[in-house]
Amino acid sequence: MGDNNDGGASKLAYLLIGGGIGAILALLFAPKSGRELRGDIADATRKGIDYSREQGRMIGDLAGDYYERGRGKAGELVDVGRERVSNIVEHGRDVVTTKRDAVSAAIEAGKQAYQETKRKGRAAGEDGTESEA
């Protein structure tokens, strides 16, 4: 099977080339004087150039439209990405805060338990009894 990657652009190019060749051959074999033939060739060339310019403008406009659409879509994707990153960062902060609070509470409980044990040890030492540990 043939490769369809060329699309309509190559078909248009082949059409234009074939049309140009056909027009030139028709002009060359038409029964006209040299001056008329040169004038016809010049007219055909001008028309071809004008047509090419118009097609170039149209293609440029389409390319600009595609560029703007792509730029807009990229901007939307960037905004969505920023929002997602912001949400992830906020969630991470919440998790860190929760864990930090839990660790701080555990450290504080450990300090209190240590102080309590230390006091009990001193109190037991003053009474003359030893505590079992």
Contacts of 129 (CB under 8 A, 6+ apart): none
Contacts of 120 (CB under 8 A, 6+ apart): 131
Q: What does the pLDDT look like over 96-110, one tens digit per residue?
A: 999 999 999 999 999
pLDDT at 68 over 90: yes
> What pTM does this model have?
0.42
- Give the separation between CA 93 and CA 9, rounded to whole angstroms: 54
Both structure tokens of 62: 């389409």
Task: Say what the pLDDT of residue 1 is.
Answer: 44
11-17, long-range: CB < 8 A, 24+ apart: 12/55, 16/48, 16/51, 16/52
